[in-house]
Amino acid sequence: MPWSRFDSNYEAPAGARDITYCAAIREAIDQAMCLDPRVFCIGLDADDKFGVFGSMSNLTHPERVLGTPISENAMTGVALGAALSGMRPIHVHLRNDFLLVAMDQIANYVAKWQDMFDHQVKVPLVIRSIIGRGWGCGAQHSQSLHGLFAQIPGLKVVMPSSPYDVKGLMLSAVKDDSPVLFLEHRWLYKNTGNVPEAMYTLPIGKAATLRRGGSLTVVATSLAAIHALKACEQQELDVDLIDPRTIKPLDLDTILASVHRTGRLLVVDYDFPFAGFASEVVAAVCERAHESLRQPPQRLCFPDRGMPSSGRLERAYYPTPERIGELMRQMILGSSIDADSFVN
């Protein structure tokens, strides 16, 4: 089994090259495909000249990159059938909104197959999807559906924020014998960071602490984590910023340890607010660290409605580093925020 020679290591090393988030994904996929002939990529427009926003350009094994018709549901079943037959497919989608077309396969088939047969079979299937937003794409092309998919037992949901994480976690996802939903925010693609050239994996289910502080625990993933980090830096806030990296399984231990220290919790989640990932984090923390919380926990999410198109409305719809910073500051000052803006 070619995958066994990896070490698990989740501390970003120093001294490696700086490459983009996009290049880190590409490198992980290329290395996985070179290492293991069972790995192949499939997806609508996966094989075209755009190379999935560059994340699959010039791969060493183009013969294992398969384009498909607009048939996301059946293609997910095809990927599953191939995974059950010993392959390790990476099924890629240009926008996560299209995953809803494949929901029957994802939720009824992919996620349940192992449970239904008491884990006699492996389902080494990665479903990659890019989260996009902005430029008036509107309600059907701007969602971030990690909260929806995290509800479904049997799916791991990974959404890395840095080039280092995205490479290590992509390799872990491909190596994993259970289905992994891998979500990449388009706005992270050009970010650069330190990424070793050699293959490495990062554990699925282990958070990263992006900033240490003592007054407020902030939980945020993907683009939200980067925005929160920016807000902390801009406003020099004493924040313990945790990026769970994999939202399911969730590294609750790291979050709880932080809340026990800070006594305050804010979850910034770029997703719908009702029964989403932020709800889960708040609920799980309150169940386990009620006594530690000095003030009510808070969530910052999208408004509970579909995305508007006009730039003016888009810019108001999505949280910004400024809004995150403002909320963090208020929480640290202990002032109470009207929670009613988060839930209808």
Partner 1 sequence: MDRKATLKREDGLWMLRRMRLIRQTSERIARLYPTNVMETPVHLCIGQEAVSVGLCRHLRDADKMFLGHRTHGPALAKGLPLPKLMAELYGRTTGCSHAFGGSMHLIDLEHGLPGSSAIIGGSIALGCGAALAAQLGKNDYVGVSYFGDAATNAGVFYESMNFAALRKLPVLFLCEDNGYSNVMPKSAHSAHDIVSVARQFMTTLQADGTDVLSVYEHTGEAVAQLRRGEGPVFLHCATKRWMKHQGHEACDIVDNGIDRERDCPIRKLEAFLLKSRLITPAELAQIEQAVEAEIDAAIQFAESSPFPDPSLLEVS
Q: From the CA atom positions of the chain, what is the Rg in Å?
A: 20
Taking the C-alpha atoms of residue 219 and residue 297, their distance in angstroms, rounded to an integer, is: 11
- Establish if 52 lies at the interface with ligand TPP (CB under 6 A): no
The catalytic position among 141, 146, 185, 227 is 141
Out of 16, 78, 101, 284, the only residue in the binding site for ligand TPP (CB under 6 A) is 101
DSSP string, 64-123: GEEE--S-HHHHHHHHHHHHHTT-EEEEEESSGGGGGGGHIIIIIIITTHHHHTTT-S--
Taking the C-alpha atoms of residue 225 and residue 268, their distance in angstroms, rounded to an integer, is: 8
Out of 15, 312, 333, 335, the only residue in the binding site for partner 1 (CB under 8 A) is 312
Q: How far are the Cα atoms of 52, 148, 166, 309 from residue 132, in angstroms, in the given order?
A: 12, 16, 17, 13
- Establish if 342 lies at the interface with ligand TPP (CB under 6 A): no
- Establish if 14 lies at the interface with ligand TPP (CB under 6 A): no
Cis amide prior to 319 (ω within 30 degrees) = no
Q: Contacts with ligand TPP in 79-98 (CB under 6 A)?
A: 98
Out of 278, 324, 328, 332, the only residue in the binding site for a copy of itself (CB under 8 A) is 278
User: Is 91 annotated in the active site?
Assistant: no
Out of 240, 243, 280, 314, the only residue in the binding site for a copy of itself (CB under 8 A) is 280
Buried b (16+ CB within 10 A) or exposed e, 35-64: bbebbbbbbbbbbeeebbeebbeebeeeeb
Q: Contacts with a copy of itself in 137-196 (CB under 8 A)?
A: 138-140, 147-148, 150-154
- Establish if 103 lies at the interface with a copy of itself (CB under 8 A): yes
- For 57, half-sphere exposure in the C-beta direction (CA atoms, 13 angstrom radius) is 8
- Establish if 256 lies at the interface with ligand TPP (CB under 6 A): no
In the complex with ligand TPP, the residue whose CB is nearer, 95 or 245, is 95
Taking the C-alpha atoms of residue 146 and residue 130, their distance in angstroms, rounded to an integer, is: 11
In the complex with partner 1, the residue whose CB is nearer, 9 or 341, is 341
- Establish if 38 lies at the interface with a copy of itself (CB under 8 A): no
**Backbone conformation region of residue 171, classed left if phi is above 0, alpha if psi is from -120 to 50, else beta:** alpha
> Which two tokens mark 184?
């990449």
Residues that bind partner 1 (CB under 8 A): 37-38, 40, 45, 48-50, 64, 66-71, 73-87, 97-98, 100-101, 104-105, 108-109, 113, 115-118, 120-121, 135-141, 153, 303-305, 308-317, 341, 344
Residues that bind a copy of itself (CB under 8 A): 97, 100-101, 103-104, 107-108, 111-112, 115-116, 138-140, 147-148, 150-154, 248-250, 252, 272, 274-280, 282-284, 286-288, 290-291, 293, 295-299, 303-306, 308, 339-340, 342-344
